[in-house]
Structure 1
Amino acid sequence: MDAFFQTLVDRRSALLTALWQHIEISLVSLLIAMAIAIPLAIWATHHKRFAAFMLQIAGVLQTIPSLALLGLLIPIVGIGTVPAVIALVIYALLPIFQNTYIGIDDIDPSIEEAADAFGMGQTRKLFKVELPIAAPVIISGVRQALVMIIGTATLAALIGAGGLGTFILLGIDRNDTALTLIGAISSALLAIILSWLINRLQHMRPRYLIGGLVVLLLGIGGVGVANAVRQPADNITIAGKLGSEPDILINMYKDLIEQDNKHVHVTLKPNFGKTSFLFNALNHNQIDIYPEFSGTILESLVKTPQSDKGLTANQTYQLAQKDMQQQFKLSYLKPMSYNNTFALAIREQDAKAWNVHTISDLQTVENKLKPGMTLEFIDRPDGLPGVNKTYGLNLKAQSMEPKLRYEAIHNGNINVVDAYSTDSELRQYHLTTLKDNKHFFPSYQGAPLMKTSLAKKYPGVVKSLNKLAGHISEKDMQEMNYEVNVEKKSAKTVARQYLVSHHLLKGDAK
């Protein structure tokens, strides 16, 4: 519990930011869903033959897996808040539409007849009779939708929309139970509090309720506009993939840029998502810079993949740089020293017991292997499919989240994992990487990737980022990852310590 409360205190500012993002996304999604579903349901009560059809459509939309829906939306609207809100609105439509329709349709016909007898028109009857009577049922549907939205909104963090899901993802990635609990508990409490507030709304008159919702929507929009206005003109947004290493690198970028370019303000978006999300965001001008690896560019990002087998690290980088410029008008700056390549890892005791030192040696113990690997490695051509083909293996791995696979091998549930050569867990869990004796894995040198137009606009920023060229060894990066993941130091502190100690940044390493 001490660790939980200490983490809560240390992260209070980030928690407040994530909480506001979660509330903003959730309420905007709810209000939009209500604006669509309630009028549609009212219309459907007078066109009953369409009601069943619309209920069926809303039900089908709700069955689409949330990750699949987000994946379908990304190519159309990019990443960030917009696809998250669209997905949440789709999930919220069914309970609101269904309850509104049922609430009005189940009103006693004699009451409807009495209203007609008093000469009420359709609009007056709706607001004076139907909505007040149906309000408890409608509010119940809104509450269901709200709880669903708040829970599903945690996935918004996967596409850079922020929210409390960032704490959950970060907790899983860093193997930090306190962070995961903070995100989960905050989300649950938010659902309870907002659900109670929604329940109180049924005591309000419909016109006041609608007016209050409009004011709330305008208020949220006003805060967003105010934040945009306050954003400095020379603001550069730097994002990083999931994990400690990208977090360290983007903090280095920020320190170097702001030290050398006093007029430039840097906004960081750590744990922004996977490779395709960041690359899509960069091309949609939703972020300005992110760290990428040369091998990843050639294997996964260029439109006409070119073989990097047999190329030196410099040749791989040069080819990646050329393709990024020609195909996407992106500038790939100078690379760092270390090669964060893929590897296969097993426990040190297994390596000794099986006398296994290379990937080829796995053929002798293939019947004993229980692989657990990331979904990305299982799917990538430069991952498991290529390993099996090159080394004559037939490994069939179960997919796992990056951090969970390390826990699984440590607990003995699996005995071979994919790894990056700079992963701190290799040291933490006493794992050994097998030699890639057939040189299958390409070189993965990291460097900043940015729009060429931005590079031309801010030559000073390019100069600052190029200071990292040739720096950071494999040992340096693994040690920094260890400090963040195991010793629980902040990525910001670790990044600054490295820059100061290597005379790239002025000041002390605090």
Structure 2
Amino acid sequence: MRKILISTLIILFGINFIYAADKVVVGAKAFTEGYVLSSMVSLLLQENGIKVEEKFGLSSFPLRKAIETGQVDAYVDYTGTAWAAYFGHTENIYDPHRLFELVAQEDLEKHDIIWLDMINFNNTYGLAVRQSFARENNINTLSDLAEYINSGKGKDIIFGVNPEYYERSDGIFAVIDTYNIDIPKNKVRTMDAGLTYGALSKGNIDVAMIYSTDAQILRFDLKILEDDKAFFPHYNPSVLVRKEVLDKYPQIREILRPLTLYLNEDIIIRLNYLVDYEGLEPKNVARNYLRGLGLIK
């Protein structure tokens, strides 16, 4: 009886091991964009015959630890997050392609984690104005804004930023210094990050700190000013895959290439908007987008 029991356990363990080895565990960061992007990863893999288990809704550091320890096989992360938060570098790399190369190289060498293609949008900080204000004053870049303010026309301009960005050494006053904007400190007001968009739309402030792929940009029809001196750090996303998994499923690279081919800032803002303000589920938004491209059935 004991031999039968042991044999049965060995068989069951073997089945479970085979099952675990024949699926890819996809993780997702716990915010709208993280859910949408990782849902695309999951759907594309499943469409191409790869079994998937989803572990969605983790914050950055637990999810990062999960891929390092093999509890998660693939998920979407950002170059700037890895460079500063995970790897602890303090030097700012302003060339997005160079930053991607450095992050990818370090992760492969130290953790056997591969970064696939860089996805073509940057979820970073930015400054925005009302579309009407930009049109009326021909302001498209931060240098244009600086020229407008320094000319005296913008002497009453009010900036709105969150308290953290007000205090940070690389925050709003570093932006002001970089672009030589002549504005007194009392013209920079602090408020919760989520409130800057509405305050800008209502005219309570004139320039707002924003996150460049936030759905509220579309909701309030705001104009992101071009960072023409490349001040803001880069947070380009990419799919991270454990090398062991990519060696087993080398087709994953081609399966997920459409994320690089078909995503950009305008598109991801619209997809985020469908979740945050139209109330659609992230997976349904991802599915509908991929179906529209003919990538899944």
Choose between structure 1 and 2: higher strand proportion: 2
Contact 2:160 2:196 survives alignment (8 Å): no
Identity fraction in percent: 25
Q: Which residue matches 1:344?
A: 127
Code of the aligned partner of 1:407: G
CA separation of 1:491/1:343 partners in 2, compared to 1, >3 Å: closer, same or farther?
Answer: same
Contact 2:141 2:228 survives alignment (8 Å): yes
Matched, 1:321 2:94: no
CA separation of 1:322/1:396 partners in 2, compared to 1, >3 Å: closer, same or farther?
Answer: farther
Alignment partner for residue 254 of structure 1, among 42, 53, 57? 42
Q: Which residue matches 1:240?
A: 29
CA separation of 1:314/1:483 partners in 2, compared to 1, >3 Å: closer, same or farther?
Answer: same
Give the Å deviation of 1:344: 0.5
Contact 1:260 1:460 survives alignment (8 Å): no
Q: Which residue matches 2:56?
A: 269
The higher radius of gyration belongs to 1
Farther off after superposition, 352-361 or 463-472: 352-361
Aligned pairs (5 A) from 1:443-458: 443-458=234-249
Code of the aligned partner of 2:113: L
* SS class of match (1:450): strand
Give the TM-score of the pair, scaled to structure 1. Answer: 0.46
Code of the aligned partner of 1:326: E
Q: Which residue matches 1:373?
A: 162
1:305-334 deviations in whole A, cap 9, x for unaligned? 44422x2x4333222211222344321111
Code of the aligned partner of 1:239: A
* SS class of match (1:476): helix
Matched, 1:479 2:270: yes
Code of the aligned partner of 2:56: K
Unaligned runs of 5+ in 2: 1-15
Give the Å deviation of 1:366: 6.6
Give the Å deviation of 1:429: 0.6
Matched, 1:332 2:119: no
Structure having greater relative contact order (Cα 8 Å, sep ≥ 6): 2
Q: Which residue matches 1:419?
A: 210
Contact 1:299 1:382 survives alignment (8 Å): no
For 1:417 and 1:368, how far apart are their aligned partners in 2? 11
CA separation of 1:241/1:499 partners in 2, compared to 1, >3 Å: closer, same or farther?
Answer: same
CA separation of 1:462/1:435 partners in 2, compared to 1, >3 Å: closer, same or farther?
Answer: closer
Q: Which residue matches 2:77?
A: 292
Contact 1:299 1:305 survives alignment (8 Å): yes
1:168-187 deviations in whole A, cap 9, x for unaligned? xxxxxxxxxxxxxxxxxxxx
Q: Which residue matches 1:431?
A: 222
Code of the aligned partner of 1:417: A
Code of the aligned partner of 1:431: L
Q: Which residue matches 1:303?
A: 88
CA separation of 1:425/1:252 partners in 2, compared to 1, >3 Å: closer, same or farther?
Answer: same
Give the Å deviation of 1:354: 6.5
For 2:39 and 2:250, how far apart are their aligned partners in 1? 19
Q: Which residue matches 2:289?
A: 498
Contact 2:160 2:207 survives alignment (8 Å): yes
Give the TM-score of the pair, scaled to structure 2. Answer: 0.74
Q: Which residue matches 2:259?
A: 468
Size of the aligned set, in residue pairs, is 270
Choose between structure 1 and 2: higher helix proportion: 1
Give the Å deviation of 1:249: 0.6
For 2:163 and 2:28, how far apart are their aligned partners in 1? 22
Code of the aligned partner of 2:161: G
Contact 2:55 2:72 survives alignment (8 Å): no
Unaligned runs of 5+ in 1: 1-228
Q: Which residue matches 2:11?
A: none
RMSD (Å), alpha carbons: 3.4
* SS class of match (1:249): helix
Code of the aligned partner of 1:255: L
Give the Å deviation of 1:439: 2.0
Give the Å deviation of 1:336: 2.2
For 2:40 and 2:291, how far apart are their aligned partners in 1? 10
For 1:442 and 1:500, how far apart are their aligned partners in 2? 33
Q: Which residue matches 1:152?
A: none
Give the Å deviation of 1:345: 0.8
Aligned pairs (5 A) from 1:348-427: 348-351=131-134, 356-360=139-143, 361-362=145-146, 363-364=149-150, 365=154, 368-373=157-162, 375=164, 377=165, 383-384=171-172, 386-392=174-180, 396=188, 398=190, 400-401=192-193, 403-427=194-218
